[in-house]
Amino acid sequence: MELQAGGRTVRLSSPDKVFFPERGFTKLDLAQYYVAVGPGILRALRNRPTTLERYPDGVGGEWFYQKRAPKGMPDWIPTAHITFPSGRSADEMCPTEEAAVVWAAQYGTVTFHPWPVRATDVDRPDELRIDLDPQPGTDYDDAARAAHELRAVLDEFGGLRGWPKTSGGRGLHVFVPIEPRWTFAQVRRAAIAVGREMERRMPDQVTIKWWKEERGRRIFIDYNQTARDRTIASAYSVRPRPDAPVSAPLRWEEVGVAHPADFDLATMPARFTELGDVHADMDDHAYSLDALLELARRDEHDHGLGDLPYPPEYPKMPGEPKRVQPSRARREETS
């Protein structure tokens, strides 16, 4: 069958294939959802290299991340050339039209993972993305409380404004549009500074400890989500869980009031029709990281707080501490 999206016609094969068995949602339901929220998800993806999380046989089947642009992609969908930490590179899909999202859904894409850069400068992020990740013993409500303190921290250090959204799971994301002046390493350094300031203010509720054995029952601020090639599901993306939740953009007054279960493939279109994209003004702003980078400098100079570990698959980075689990390091010291 054919769907209209942003002035283009997109063909959809096997529209009755069930993608979410628990709810009975089909490929057609998924594609129609992305038509319904088209302006919102395009705002989140526009001109960004985007990794596709694909489930060709639905969320109960095999799946994979598609980083390189799929073969046979229409010539009206541009690409952006990006480089991975390994030194390898690829051309990734770079949506500029709503129809590109529906085209990807035709090939089983459930979730879209955009880089925090634009095609015009793929080495300098234009978003600071802060991931509030509940650890065992904590939940979404704990993340929401941390988010309100995070809002105060952002305002205090540079008058920054964040746009919150549900992760589609138990967590919260806060995105800050920034000037594309800093490298991935510098943006990550700013995220670490945010996390350390949050730890100082909420030591029993928030942690920036990379090793799980050190986190405890606290909200983890995953600073490594700002490392090169780490991405976060876009606003309006459907998540591959049985109940088909979506990553829902929120207004600040909704944080801690609305809950992730309120937003799914069935309910979000009505919200979008009523409210539109509640993050529509995000691209009208671009903030400076100068105050956060000065905070990072003071943390290092005054308290000896330097860099933190990168994910295990990354090459060793300059200034990075030993990438060894603390309990293992203690065993090695005493052996």
Q: Apex CA 236: angle with CA 1 and CA 156, to 5°? A: 165
Cα of first residue to Cα of last residue in the chain, in angstroms, is 67
Higher local confidence (pLDDT), 330 or 127: 127
pLDDT of residue 325: 87
Does residue 330 surpass a pLDDT of 80?
A: no
pLDDT of residue 331: 73
Q: Average pLDDT for residues 273-289, to the nearest whole number?
A: 98
Q: Average pLDDT for residues 1-28, to the nearest whole number?
A: 96
The domain made up of 2-123+236-278 is a member of CATH 3.40.1350.10: no
Q: Where exactly does CATH 3.30.70.3300 map onto the chain? A: 127-229+285-303
Q: For residue 286, give both structure tokens.
A: 């671009």
Does residue 63 surpass a pLDDT of 80?
A: yes
**Percent over 90 (pLDDT), the chain:** 94
Q: Where exactly does CATH 3.90.920.10 map onto the chain? A: 2-123+236-278
Q: Average pLDDT for residues 121-142, to the nearest whole number?
A: 98
pLDDT of residue 326: 86
Residue type, 103: W
pLDDT of residue 335: 65
- Quick: pLDDT tens for 197-223: 999 999 999 999 999 999 999 999 999
CB-based contact 176:130 (threshold 8 Å): yes
Q: Average pLDDT for residues 319-332, to the nearest whole number?
A: 83
pLDDT of residue 31: 98
Residues 127-229+285-303, CATH architecture: 2-Layer Sandwich (3.30)
Q: Apex CA 283: angle with CA 45 and CA 185, to 5°? A: 75
DSSP symbol at 61: S
CA dihedral angle for residue 83, residue 88, residue 91, residue 93, rounded to 10 degrees: -70
| Average pLDDT over all residues of the chain | 96
pLDDT of residue 154: 98
Does residue 80 surpass a pLDDT of 70?
A: yes
Residue that the structure tokens 């090169």 belong to? 228
pLDDT of residue 228: 97
Does residue 333 surpass a pLDDT of 90?
A: no
- Provide the strand spans (E) within 253-326: none
pLDDT of residue 241: 97
Q: Average pLDDT for residues 321-333, to the nearest whole number?
A: 81
CA atoms within 13 A on the CB side of 159: 4
Q: Average pLDDT for residues 96-105, to the nearest whole number?
A: 98
